[in-house]
Structure 1
Amino acid sequence: MKRKMIKIDEEKCTGCGECILSCAEGAIVIKDGKAKVVKDMYCDGLGACLGHCPEGALSIEEREAEPFNEEAAREWVASTRDQETHSCNSSRPMMIMPSKPAEAGEITSQLQNWPIQLHLAPEVTPGYKGASLLIAADCTGFSLGNVQRDFIAGRVARIGCPKLDDFQAYVEKLTRIFKGNDIKDITLIRMDVPCCGGLQHLVREALKHSGKDLPLQEYIVERYGGKVVKVSA
C-alpha cells in the first residue's frame, strides 16, 4: 500500500541518534553510522521524530510500504529493551557535560562523549567538528593516574587495542573519520609494550589514506610508575 513514511537523507545524517529517542515505535536504528528505518511496519508515518534532527535529515514521503503494525512495533520495542537488559546495546552517540574541574584531592570525570570504544564510535558526528581527538590504548586508562586531567579533558576520546581488535578495520574506520570530519588535531597515547606500537602505526596509516595533514602528538605510558614520555609533536 502507498502511505506516509519517514525519509532519511543519508547525506545530511550524522548518526547522532536524536531521532531514536523521539520514536516511540523503535522504527529507527543507527547502522554503519547512519539512521535507518529498521522495518516499514514499525513506522507510523506521523513524524514525531522530525523536529528532533539537528541536521534536518528527516522528512515525510509517500511511498509503497507495509502497513503500520502497532502490535509488532510494541513487541519490537519490548524485545530491544530486553536485549539491553542482558547486553551492551548503548552505542548511541552522545555528548556529555564533563564534571566540574577537580578540587584539591578530588578526582572527577572529564569524559565528554559516548561511546568511547573505537569499534562503536560513529564515523561522522557533529561532536568531531573542530575537536581535539584522543586515541588511546585501552590499558592507558588503568596505568596513568592523571589520564582524566591530562588527556581526556577537552578531547573527544576513542579507545582500542591494536593487538586484540581488528587492525585493518580500525585503519579503514579512522580513515573515514579523518576524511569525513573537521578534526582539529589528534593526541595518541599508548603503552610501552611492543604490541601497543600497532596503535601508532594504524593512526599514521589512516592519516596517510585520508589525505589529511592533521597535527599529531604521541605519548608513551611506562608500565612501571605510569611515567609519560612524549615521543612526537
Structure 2
Amino acid sequence: MTQQMREIIRIDEEKCNGCGLCVPSCAEGALQIIDGKARIVKDSFCDGLGACLGECPQGALSIEKRLTDAFDEEAVHEHMKTLGKAAPAAPAASHDCGCGDGGHSHHAYHSHQGHHAAQAAAATPAVAATTATAPAAEPPRMGGCPGSALRMMQREKAAPAQAATPAQGAERPSELTHWPVQLKLVPVQAPFFEDARLVVAADCAAFAYADFHQRFLQGKSLVIACPKLDDIAFYRQKLTQIFRQNRIRSIDVIHMEVPCCTGLVHVVQEALNDAGRGAQADAGLRIPLNLVKIGIAGQVLAEQKG
C-alpha cells in the first residue's frame, strides 16, 4: 500500500462519547464505533475531506496531515459492498476549486467547497450574520443534517377520557417527547435517557399497531431500529454505552412476530449483559426488561414482563 503525506480525520478519544452521529455521515464507511469510541476502520477508506466533522456534538473530530496509506477508492467500493450499502458515486470530470490541490473529482470538489465554506463561517461568524440582506441558497454543510438535531417536546397531559376518545374529527395527540428517535442518530448521553422508561421498538411496530402512541409511548423515551437491515453489531455497542452511562428505569422492547425481528430482543439483552445491567446483575443494577410481540395483522400477540 502506497503511503503519502495527506489530510485524514483525527479522533480525540478523550472527547468522543461514542454517540455514533459521525458514522452515517461517512460515505466511505471509514468510521465505526468500536469499544465505545469512534475509530477509523482503515486509513485507506478515509478521503480526509471532513464530511463527518459537522456531525460530532463533542468536537472530537478534526483534520490532520500525516504520513498514512493513500485513499483507495476501489477498496472503499468493496468495503461498502460488505456493509450492504451503496458505494459513493464514481468520480466525474475533475474541477479546480482554486484551493491549491489541483483537480478534484466531483465528490471531492463539493466536499472541499463545504470544507472551505465551514472554515470561512467559523472564522467570521459575525460578518456572515450581518451581511445577509436577502434569502439565499443554503451554504454547503460538512455533512451536518438539521433533521438530526436534538429536540425536546413538551406535551400537555390530556384527561384519560379525552385521550381514549378524542372529539369527532380531532387528531390524537402525539406522545413523542424528543427527536431524533433512530438509534443510529441519538446521542449516547441524550437528556431523554436520564431516569427514562425506554422503549426500543422495531421500525415496523408503530405502523402495524394502531394505538402505538397511546399504549406504549406515554411518558416514555423512544428509539427505533431494524434488526434485519441495520448494523446490529453497532447497535449492540451503542446500546451498551447507553445502558452504562444513563440511569434507565425500565426497557420495553416492542418487536414484530417475524423471526428476523427477534434479533432486536437479542441485541438489547446482550447489550444489557455487556453493560452489567442484565438479568444476572445485582438487583440495584438490573434494568427490568419487558417484551411485547406485535402481529403483522396489528394485534398484540404476547407480553412478557421482566
TM-score over 0.5 for the pair: yes
1:184-199 alignment, distance < 5 Å: 184-199=249-264
Measured in 1, the distance between the counterparts of 2:15 and 2:268 equals 27
1:155-170 alignment, distance < 5 Å: 155-170=220-235
Find the structure with the greater CA-based Rg: 2
1:127-206 alignment, distance < 5 Å: 127-206=192-271
Q: Which residue of 2 aligns with 1:78?
A: 139
Residue 217 (structure 1) aligned with residue 274 (structure 2): no
Counterpart secondary structure, 2:290? strand
Counterpart secondary structure, 2:147? coil
Measured in 2, the distance between the counterparts of 1:93 and 1:122 equals 8
Q: Which amino acid aligns with 1:150?
A: R
Q: Which amino acid aligns with 1:93?
A: L
Q: Which residue of 1 aligns with 2:150?
A: 93
| Superposition TM-score, scaled by structure 1 size | 0.67
Q: Which amino acid aligns with 2:153?
A: I
Q: Which residue of 2 aligns with 1:55?
A: none
Match of 2:182 among 101, 117, 138: 117
Deviation at 1:77, TM superposition (A): 6.7
Question: Is residue 16–residue 58 contact of structure 2 (8 Å, CA) maintained in 1?
Answer: no
Q: Which amino acid aligns with 1:224?
A: A
CA displacement, residues 5-41 of structure 1 (integer Å, 9 cap, x when unaligned): xxxx9499x99xxxxxxxxxxxx9441x524687665
| Superposition TM-score, scaled by structure 2 size | 0.52
Question: Is residue 292–residue 302 contact of structure 2 (8 Å, CA) maintained in 1?
Answer: yes
Judged with a 3 Å threshold, the aligned counterparts in structure 2 of structure 1 residues 76 and 224 are, in CA distance, closer, same or farther, namely closer
Q: Which amino acid aligns with 1:128?
A: F
Measured in 2, the distance between the counterparts of 1:99 and 1:142 equals 24
CA displacement, residues 169-194 of structure 1 (integer Å, 9 cap, x when unaligned): 00001001111111111111000110
CA RMSD of aligned residues (A): 3.4
Measured in 2, the distance between the counterparts of 1:97 and 1:190 equals 27
Q: Which residue of 2 aligns with 1:50?
A: none
Question: Is residue 16–residue 60 contact of structure 2 (8 Å, CA) maintained in 1?
Answer: no
Identical-residue share of aligned pairs (%): 32
In structure 2, runs of 5+ residues without a counterpart are 1-13, 21-52, 63-117, 130-135, 278-285
Measured in 2, the distance between the counterparts of 1:70 and 1:155 equals 38
Counterpart secondary structure, 1:122? coil
CA displacement, residues 113-133 of structure 1 (integer Å, 9 cap, x when unaligned): 100111011111222111111
Counterpart secondary structure, 1:187? strand
More off after superposition, 119-128 vs 155-164: 119-128
Judged with a 3 Å threshold, the aligned counterparts in structure 2 of structure 1 residues 184 and 76 are, in CA distance, closer, same or farther, namely farther
